[in-house]
Structure 1
């Protein structure tokens, strides 16, 4: 065998070796593994289990391989001998976060135009460091790259969460050059089946789409048991719900239902019409009840809408992650934005949306969460996911319900709730160990120590530190 042939044969064996729970990891992954024992015991933890139920104190939890096998009051269950024991006194365990509006690209605004740059290396690592064990991309700029990243992570070659990959953003006449995906009389069914056959598992429709398009997209997707979400504009929420859409992005922030004389199938700016609505407005309540009746889930994304004034330059404290020239750019945007009329209007819109989301939740509406790292470029993977938990408390939820929205609700939407999303016996060991009592101080969410994904414990701080100064480059 020639030298070149031997190299490629060895590479084939390396990449395509079988993996189980005894999965072997590349050095890129193994460098960040803190715990890989087959049996792990957490002692004396505070547990917020993701069900929305009461917080449990002084709990012991046993993990065997990748499963949670026992949970009970400290000293009340038999602990196996010769196991890896973690003293969780003064610490909190929550399920791994399941976020439904994430991206693998970073927003780079330039001269009032928008460019997304794929963060193949940094964003998957940052998501895991920030406690995200499962995510949905909710629209892909580079769908093939997203699929490849997912597959590399699944095979233990790259570091990151489990990924539910969405189609490219489906629209016809967008203002972002990277997003336009449908042209003329292109066959939508053929286009979608192409992506489904490659492994895409979610569909994302965008601003400029017709009701006829959406009807076809939903029909084709549901025939393959794939759900459809949308950041809409040309189509109202009521119209989309009537057509059978599963999910609407940005809760009510993208709704154009209350724009007077809205042209059919045309995108218009809807935010001013929302700012005039009280959360108890009869027309808004009617829409909410209609969405609930149609079983439509809303994905709430407060981090991307967070105002600048009296808040962080990078939500969640992620300034260290940005490449220096981008941090300088973001600081300039921040300095120009604070204490302006525009930012005060942004705060008004932000607070009103919090009330609308709380109302929808109180009526029994289904809500999932995500961060949408786009916008001005201040929303950074991982850091923004931790910040999101803080914003759920600011919205008015208690910590038990906030964690449920960020874990179980996402699992239910993705139909994986039997495997993950809560801390329960029999489920996968997707867990976050936090240094502090999250029930007393929500900012402890920023003190993640260990992220367990499928029973493997990763060092959160080490991952964060490894990508400092690299976001925007890689």
Structure 2
């Protein structure tokens, strides 16, 4: 009983011996990235965007102790405990740690076919954390054991990185485009796969483009029986059919939905470019697309926005961010820039400017109709989207879609936590919640680009140096 009471008493009274017991044991490697780890830290005179969607509050003080937020309010009235380390943050803003909901641990290998996606367990965890991403769902794994062991190493304080919710291997049918995906044989194989990987420790699954309806039903049934959710990047199955079959989330939004192609065959994945052309003549706020949105909302199916990966397909649109280019292995940088130039050369014939605009409209309408929109980056495509930096770009693009900066931050923090069932712990800033906090210079509520100016990322009350984490990964993306 005494052991059970101790954490509660520590939270209430926070004596020095409680702080010592709460301090994680960090490896020397991880310790080198730590900027703030005093037993009690006060973030004073800071602007607070709390993730709830509420109006930002200026001149606030947050107190962090024992890994949690123990005080928050007006600087003039919030008591700072004796002995606390005080950071004067005039001119800074704090937001909740981002919750990345399509944040893989792999990246496309340069060099052409076959399509391969090597695990990036060295660079990506550091870059996610550096970018202010304190929790992620991997949303599809090509090396699930690597992801599980990486999660263990981060949780044990051996490596820098976010809290990881590991998604199992892709649930793909016949016709996988990469050698790294198992192709399901039938519904029984789908059931076995789900049950095996739940036993291994994964906490979600992702159905992929060529899965059959029968396989999806079997996977959803097996996962739901154990309280596990299933998302999908689908092609063989349209969104409304997937909702009826019990899926919990759909990745990428409108441009991944093939149901609007007039001659689509049931259970078959059509040519994506042909399916996308069918979208061009449809309105988002009326007709069949609006009916699909309403159907998803009725079935409580979330949608994960991954705007950065689609932006790279729009000719001459994605910013040439020096931070992204510096993080790349030279061969990866050359491969990305060459492909980018090829896309630019084809600008006159590209449907993607119109498709991207329609995707922005879809996500805004989905939320307007009551849908739960999640945020991620998807570091795939042809290599222009990178961990952490891409998560920040996603928030910026949500603002371009028509959301206010405060709404976009809410989507990228609170909504993800809600879907993961962790809103009582993370996703917003409030007394009692875990101290997953991002300190940025400037005011993202006035200029959303300030979300890129991350200086310190607190995860469970430990403050990590964003610049050091970024520097440690320089030149590694595309390699490891």
Instruction: Tell me which interval the TM-score lies in, with the shorter structure as reference length.
Output: over 0.9
Shift of residue 275, structure 1, vs aligned partner: 2.0
User: 1:176 — aligned with what?
Assistant: 178
User: 1:286 — aligned with what?
Assistant: 291
User: 1:66 — aligned with what?
Assistant: 67
User: 1:243 — aligned with what?
Assistant: 245
Residues 379-436 of structure 1, C-alpha deviation per residue, up to 9 Å, x if partnerless?
1111111111111111111011100000000000000000110001110000000011
Shift of residue 343, structure 1, vs aligned partner: 7.2
The 5-angstrom pairing of residues 433-444 of structure 1 reads 433-444=439-450
Instruction: Label 1:442 to 1:331 Cα distance change in 2 as closer, same or farther (>3 A).
Output: same
Shift of residue 311, structure 1, vs aligned partner: 3.5
Instruction: Label 1:187 to 1:114 Cα distance change in 2 as closer, same or farther (>3 A).
Output: closer
Shift of residue 341, structure 1, vs aligned partner: 2.9
Instruction: Label 1:250 to 1:26 Cα distance change in 2 as closer, same or farther (>3 A).
Output: same
Counterpart CA distance in 2 for 1:36 and 1:355 is: 43
User: 1:88 — aligned with what?
Assistant: 89
User: 1:159 — aligned with what?
Assistant: 160
User: 1:101 — aligned with what?
Assistant: 102
Are the equivalent residues in 1 in contact too, given 2:46–2:91 (CA < 8 A)? yes
User: 1:197 — aligned with what?
Assistant: 199
State which of 416, 419, 428 in structure 2 corresponds to 1:422.
428
Instruction: Find runs of 4+ consecutive structure 1 residues off by over 6 angstroms.
Output: none
User: 1:13 — aligned with what?
Assistant: none
Residue 396 in structure 1 maps to residue 402 in structure 2: yes
Are the equivalent residues in 1 in contact too, given 2:187–2:218 (CA < 8 A)? no
What TM-score comes out, normalization by structure 2 length? 0.92
Shift of residue 191, structure 1, vs aligned partner: 2.0
Are the equivalent residues in 2 in contact too, given 1:315–1:387 (CA < 8 A)? no
User: 2:127 — aligned with what?
Assistant: 126
Question: May I ask how many residue pairs the two structures share in their alignment?
Answer: 456
Give the 3-state SS of the residue equivalent to 1:413 in structure 2: helix
Shift of residue 186, structure 1, vs aligned partner: 5.4
What residue ranges of structure 1 are gaps of 5+ in the alignment?
1-18
Are the equivalent residues in 2 in contact too, given 1:316–1:386 (CA < 8 A)? no
Residue 462 in structure 1 maps to residue 464 in structure 2: no
Shift of residue 92, structure 1, vs aligned partner: 0.5
Counterpart CA distance in 1 for 2:397 and 2:345 is: 21
State which of 192, 213, 218 in structure 1 corresponds to 2:220.
218
Instruction: Label 1:273 to 1:20 Cα distance change in 2 as closer, same or farther (>3 A).
Output: farther
Instruction: Label 1:61 to 1:313 Cα distance change in 2 as closer, same or farther (>3 A).
Output: closer
Counterpart CA distance in 1 for 2:319 and 2:67 is: 38
Q: Give the RMSD, CA atoms, in angstroms.
A: 1.6
Give the 3-state SS of the residue equivalent to 1:253 in structure 2: helix
Counterpart CA distance in 2 for 1:439 and 1:294 is: 33
User: 1:51 — aligned with what?
Assistant: 52
Per mean C-alpha deviation after superposition, the further-off stretch among 189-198 and 120-129 is: 189-198
The 5-angstrom pairing of residues 7-406 of structure 1 reads 21-108=22-109, 110-111=111-112, 113-173=114-174, 174-183=176-185, 187-268=189-270, 269=272, 270-307=275-312, 308-312=314-318, 317-338=323-344, 340-341=346-347, 344-406=350-412
Shift of residue 443, structure 1, vs aligned partner: 1.1
Counterpart CA distance in 2 for 1:276 and 1:357 is: 18
User: 2:7 — aligned with what?
Assistant: none
Shift of residue 280, structure 1, vs aligned partner: 1.8
Counterpart CA distance in 1 for 2:80 and 2:322 is: 37
Shift of residue 170, structure 1, vs aligned partner: 0.7
Are the equivalent residues in 2 in contact too, given 1:107–1:377 (CA < 8 A)? yes
Residue 408 in structure 1 maps to residue 414 in structure 2: yes
